């Protein structure tokens, strides 16, 4: 038990477990907009699905902000003291993650030409059908939720920074492919996301500020969504 306590804060596990379960079970809130707008779930349209997804995300982000409000407020105050240095440091770690992500994507495309990850294919279809809703959900709301779940809550549990960084990065990467994977080979597409997740976790550890990864994740996702909207 003492060995476990050295690496894991057992007292923080219940709260973090609730946060993770909330993230994965957010669809339980779908019945609210379905009932309010009398949506036919058997013949749901892209617009209706976007409304449901947005509602679920708003509920989850509301709960998470309430849970971590005090910490976010403290991090905001810390980031204001020397914002330029804070941003420069955050940008540096994100850029390294982005480069690793790009290199891994090039490697995957060379080994598996003409292939595309199921997750990426789904995201592009959603951007095509509901571009501005996706700009809000994927560019702004999603990054805040994911960072509070996979960085903030994970860091509370793992006392050892290397265990936190590795676990946070791997879980984050796998999350982006596990629900779209149709074969074991599809999990190779988790590699680029893992690198990005590792960079975000490393960034939080180095800056000791949860807003660093939230900020860079929002910039990363918003940029990609905007490129998809205007280049499609």
Q: Which residue has the tokens 């749901």?
A: 44
Residue 119 or 108, more confident = 108
The SS3 assignment for 116 reads coil
Burial class (CB in 10 A: 0-12, 13-18, 19+), 60: buried
Strand partners, 158: 8
- CA dist., res. 95 & res. 216, Å (int): 9
- CA dist., res. 221 & res. 204, Å (int): 18
**pLDDT value at residue 115:** 60
Q: How many Cβ atoms sit within 10 Å of the Cβ of residue 42?
A: 5
- pTM of structure: 0.92
**pLDDT value at residue 77:** 95
pLDDT, one tens digit per residue, over 10-42 is: 999 999 999 999 999 999 999 999 988 888 888
Question: Helix %, strand %, coil % for the chain, to 5?
Answer: 85, 0, 10
CA atoms within 13 A on the CB side of 144: 18
Strand partners, 8: 158
Angle between helix axes 118-129 and 46-67 (nearest 10 degrees) is 110
pLDDT, one tens digit per residue, over 113-171 is: 766 665 666 777 777 878 888 899 999 999 999 999 999 999 999 999 999 999 999 99
Contact 229, 131 (CB under 8 A): yes
CA neighbor of 30 nearest in space, from 19, 39, 43, 18: 39
Q: Is residue 232 scored above 80 in pLDDT?
A: no
The SS3 assignment for 144 reads helix
């Amino acid at each position: 038990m003492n060995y476990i306590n050295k690496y894991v804060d057992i007292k923080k596990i219940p709260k973090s477990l609730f946060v993770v379960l909330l993230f994965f079970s957010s669809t339980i809130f779908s019945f609210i907009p379905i009932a309010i707008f009398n949506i036919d779930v058997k013949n749901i349209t892209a617009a209706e699905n976007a409304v449901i997804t947005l509602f679920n995300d708003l509920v989850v982000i509301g709960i998470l902000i309430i849970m971590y409000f005090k910490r976010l407020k403290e991090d905001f105050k810390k980031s204001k003291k020397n914002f330029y240095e804070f941003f420069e440091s955050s940008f540096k770690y994100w850029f390294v993650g982005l480069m690793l992500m790009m290199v891994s994507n090039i490697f995957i495309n060379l080994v598996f030409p003409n292939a595309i990850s199921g997750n990426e294919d789904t995201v592009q279809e959603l951007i095509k059908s509901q571009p501005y809703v996706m700009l809000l959900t994927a560019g702004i709301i999603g990054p805040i939720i994911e960072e509070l779940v996979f960085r903030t809550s994970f860091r509370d549990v793992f006392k050892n920074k290397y265990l936190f960084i590795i676990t946070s990065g791997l879980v984050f990467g796998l999350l982006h492919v596990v629900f779209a994977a149709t074969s074991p080979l599809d999990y190779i597409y988790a590699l680029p996301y893992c690198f990005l997740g590792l960079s975000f976790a490393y960034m939080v550890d180095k800056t000791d500020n949860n807003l660093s990864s939230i900020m860079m994740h929002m910039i990363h996702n918003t940029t990609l969504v905007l490129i998809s909207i205007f280049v499609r």
